[in-house]
Amino acid sequence: MEGQDKTYQTWHRDYSNFRKLVTLFVSGVERFHNERYQEALPYLTNACNLNEKLAGKKLDKNRGLEQRLLAYYRRQCLLNLNKVAASQFGSDDLKVATDALVLLNDCLVPSMAFLTMDSSYQEDKAAAEEIRGFWCSKLGEDIQDEKQQQLQDFLGKLLDPSDEQSLRATAPIPRLHDLEAEFHSAMKLAVERGHLETALRGK
């Protein structure tokens, strides 16, 4: 009887975590496709982490979602967030430019550890190098002294991410009226926009 109770508790915990995982995924994908990348990132990052815990080291698909798709969305979210910040940094308005670096320090830098140290996907490492290469190239440009100083401070963190900098922010779990329907909608978007196919091809 005791063994049955423990099995039931384990099943109940795994099922509860799976629903949480799907909710995180759906919430992240919805925000990603609405170009709300800063909001989407914590959902997608937490979904990746929870999925790895559920699926285990062998990434059992019966215990989680397709990890390559989750990693793809997280990676694309970071790349798009980087593009937004890069555009802002190019502004002649000093506040807009420095706000871009604040955004990167708060969101992008803490996520770099997942791409460079925690990920087994070559595409994640390539994305990290693309981001680093872009910002390093800015050092050779003629920019304002204050922007230059803040850029150098940012690059120090970007080039040497630590475990302490890893993104720890938790995303609030929304209450979805029909989780199954929301999941189907998210997967439909992933298929129609070509994200699922690209993720499975490893790009």
Q: What is the pLDDT of residues 60-83, one digit of tens each?
A: 666 789 999 999 999 999 999 999
Question: Considering only 5-19, 72-86, 117-131, which range has the smallest mean pLDDT?
Answer: 5-19
- Which carries the bigger pLDDT value, residue 189 or residue 166? 189
Q: DSSP letter at 66? A: -
Give the separation between CA 112 and CA 140, rounded to whole angstroms.
23
Question: Which string of DSSP letters, residue by residue, matches 114-131?
Answer: IIIII---HHHHHHHHHH
pLDDT at position 123 over 90: yes
Mean per-residue pLDDT, 148-164: 82
What is the model's pTM? 0.88
pLDDT per residue as tens digits for the range 77-117: 999 999 999 999 999 899 999 999 999 988 888 888 888 77
- Rounded CA gap, 191 and 110, in Å? 29
Quote the pLDDT of residue 22. 95
pLDDT band at 176 (very low <50, low <70, confident <90, very high): confident
Work out the mean pLDDT of the chain and round it to a whole number.
Answer: 87
For residue 57, is pLDDT > 60?
no
pLDDT, residue 177, reads 80
